[in-house]
Amino acid sequence: MKLQDSSLLRGQAYVNGEWIDAKSGETFAVFNPATGDELVRVPLMSEADAKAAVAAAHEAFKQWRTTTAKERATVLRRWYQLMQDNMEDLALLMTLEQGKPLAEARGEVQYAASFVEWFAEEGKRAYGELIPTHKQDARILVSREPVGVVAAITPWNFPAAMITRKAAPALAAGCSFICKPAEDTPLSALALAELAHRAGIPAGVFNILTGDPRALGSVLTGHELVRKLSFTGSTPVGKLLMAQCANTVKRVSLELGGNAPFIVFDDADLERALDGAMASKYRNAGQTCVCTNRFLVQDGIYDRFVEALAERTRQLKVGSGTDADVQQGPLINAAAVAKIQSHIDDAVAKGASVVCGGKLHALGRTWFEPTVLRDVTPQMQVATEETFGPLAPVFRFSDEAEAIAMANDTEYGLAAYFFSRDLGRVWRVAEGLEYGMIGINEGIISTELAPFGGVKASGLGREGARQGLEEYLECKYMLMGGI
């Protein structure tokens, strides 16, 4: 398969409106996880490159912040339209670098573009306030201002959407933006930069740095001209970056790991629960932070649920993401495969049984069989660790209080799902779950319209919705006296 527009495949970084190499001249390879082939080489940038990008973004910010929300919206709207017009190429690039099936990649491009469209509009509503005064001759005004230069560090599982979900509100608010995408998947980011360039986003407002995570990260979290960090990735790295930001007291948004429970009560609509289970578990081969990590199923429906889930799981078509009808592509790398296998081995050693799958797929290397485990207990690794793969461990519970306690028994608090038709139970469980997002009789919750984010070790702040814009705005209080 070939790109219709080959200029969307870039082998350079994008800084200050220009395509550039690393100052050192060094590069690194980007691989196709389905074949192991090298796709292209990109610059291996380091501290000096990051400092130059921060300086450029700071210069650009001075102008960008003075534009009107409508002017910014016009440019963002063009960027959105270019994503739509180049949908097929963006999807193909994503499948090549990340592995997800083309249909899912198209879905992600659409999702990525939706943030740009939505925040282009929402930027116009960054309203201030006039607060009833405390003294007759003065007025209290509150205005909203962009926070400044924003740095983003993004993961490989959603190579486009995790960037636009940060960039769109940042740019709409009047901030300039520097992103370091994951080293596995910089191509979607660079293609977005090419489209940003064509859309007329001014030089220095949107920048993509490729390279050494630690070196780039140390500048992006340590530089005093960067006023905010928005990170999506693992909890350990999020904690580290948050600590690195402490010295310059940056604003921080973190979207970290999850350990999503998916609770099925006896009174659930079984077919609906199964639809939700398949979507929430196997999307992106289980490699999303909101993918179900633990199925918690009530005694009365346990056996039927396990059988039906295994039946559907066996039918998943596994293969290369570019092949038609494939539902599960390769995993990102060998380490991801090893982690799933170790979770299965640990569970089986402690008494769980494999209902289907359970081992490396016949395609080898980075493919893993979609797997269902039954008789899983809280003593097993899968109870506390995020598997990030196509593994569905099914735990058992007896009553509502036990389900809520099991669901909350984790350091994480990102997404949770539950299925019930009892109205009272729906309220009790929804309020009892310590999570930032709850799917009630729904297995897919992501939309640009709603605030996405977690509590506890799953992060800080929200992305999408009006809350997503707040993250990029400071409020300024002005007391205007002598009236």
Chain positions contacting ligand ADP, by CB under 6 A? 153-155, 180, 182-183, 213-214, 217, 233-234, 237, 240-241
Is 310 within 8 Å of 372 (Cβ atoms)?
A: yes
Is 84 within 8 Å of 164 (Cβ atoms)?
A: no
Would you say 155 or 261 has its CB closer to ligand ADP?
155
What percent helix, strand, coil does the chain show, rounded to 5? 40, 25, 35
Q: Which residue is nearest to ligand ADP (CB)?
A: 217
CA dihedral 274, 259, 461, 250 (to 10 degrees): -150
Helix (H), strand (E) at residue 240: helix 235-246
Q: How far is the CB of 247 from ligand ADP (least distance, A)?
A: 15
Residue 132, SS3?
A: coil
Q: How far is the CB of 220 from ligand ADP (least distance, A)?
A: 7
Q: How far is the CB of 215 from ligand ADP (least distance, A)?
A: 8
Query: What burial class does residue 478 get, using C-beta atoms within 10 Å of its C-beta: 0-12 exposed, 13-18 middle, 19+ buried?
Result: exposed
The tokens describing 85, both together, are 């017009």
The 3-state secondary structure of 25-49, one letter per residue: CCEEEEECCCCCCEEEEEECECHHH
The residues that bridge with 1 in the sheet, in sequence order, are none
Q: For residues 473 and 148, give the distance between their C-alpha atoms in angstroms, rounded to a whole number.
A: 9
Q: How far is the CB of 214 from ligand ADP (least distance, A)?
A: 5
Would you say 395 or 452 has its CB closer to ligand ADP?
452
Would you say 104 or 255 has its CB closer to ligand ADP?
255
The single residue of 104, 108, 194, 255 carrying the catalytic annotation is 255
Would you say 146 or 217 has its CB closer to ligand ADP?
217
Would you say 153 or 173 has its CB closer to ligand ADP?
153
Q: How far is the CB of 237 from ligand ADP (least distance, A)?
A: 3
Q: How many residues does the chain have?
A: 483
Q: Report which of 88, 419, 483 is spatially closest to residue 279, judged by C-alpha positions.
A: 419
Determine whether 434 is an active site residue: no
Q: How far is the CB of 388 from ligand ADP (least distance, A)?
A: 7
Would you say 338 or 475 has its CB closer to ligand ADP?
338
| Axis crossing angle, helix 186-199 with helix 161-173, rounded to the nearest 10 | 30
- Catalytic residue numbers read 255
